[in-house]
């Protein structure tokens, strides 16, 4: 909550907020996880990226492991009380509030509706998902590993870009924009 409010005050774009594909990324992206959900993968400083083999460093210290660890030891710790003071009186900005879950009717493969798998190939199957290139990321020159988009095997109406692209952004990149329902008559 603190980071989102600070970013707004400093006019720093936040990835995923207001439909932005670029900007800073804030992790974790969710406050809690249900029993059938999984969270975001995070690349933390000092970790090694699996694909590139490169280590990610903290800025402000030499790029050597000993110097990085010394730097971490010198940082002031933030307590729960400090954090409560930081966010006192703040609310989550509207554009970053989680959207209410949409309950879908049971999946019926014979029903005519948008099918993401008609537009993207299921590159590989891992666990309960297909993983493939996100069309929106690809349009913006990202997703070199071609695995940002997860599509549920059991219900392909459920898909998510782990780099932060919204469904609206993905559908727009496919030339299949999300249809907005007709306004209710007064």
pTM of the model: 0.52
Report how far residue 22's alpha carbon sits from residue 27's, in angstroms, rounded to the nearest whole number.
15
Provide the residue range defining the domain that includes 16.
Answer: 1-98
Burial of residue 185 (number of CB atoms within 10 Å: 0-12, 13-18, 19+)? exposed
When divided into structural domains, the chain yields a total of 2
Which residue is listed with tokens 């949409």? 102
Which residue, 70, 154, 139, 60, is CA-closest to 106?
Answer: 154
Average pLDDT, rounded, for the chain = 82
Q: Are residues 91 and 9 in the same domain?
A: yes
Report how far residue 17's alpha carbon sits from residue 23's, in angstroms, rounded to the nearest whole number.
9
Q: Are residues 67 and 121 in the same domain?
A: no
Give tens-digit pLDDT for 140-186.
887 777 788 999 888 888 899 888 888 889 999 999 888 765 554 54
């Amino acid at each position: 909550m603190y980071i989102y409010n600070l970013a707004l005050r400093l006019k720093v774009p936040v990835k995923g907020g207001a439909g932005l594909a670029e900007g800073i990324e804030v992790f974790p992206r969710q406050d809690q996880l249900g029993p059938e959900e999984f969270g975001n993968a995070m690349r933390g400083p000092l970790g090694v990226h699996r694909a590139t083999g490169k280590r990610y460093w903290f800025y402000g210290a030499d790029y050597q492991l000993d110097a990085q660890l010394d730097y971490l030891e010198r940082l002031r710790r933030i307590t729960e009380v400090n954090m409560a003071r930081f966010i006192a009186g703040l609310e989550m900005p509207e554009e970053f509030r989680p959207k209410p879950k949409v309950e879908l009717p049971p999946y019926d493969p014979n029903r005519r509706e948008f099918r993401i798998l008609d537009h993207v190939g299921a590159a590989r199957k891992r666990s309960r998902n297909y993983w493939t290139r996100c069309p929106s990321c690809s349009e913006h020159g990202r997703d070199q590993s071609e695995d940002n988009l997860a599509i549920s095997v059991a219900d392909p109406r459920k898909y998510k870009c782990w780099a932060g692209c919204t469904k609206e952004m993905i559908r727009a990149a496919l030339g299949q924009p999300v249809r907005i329902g007709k306004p209710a008559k007064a």
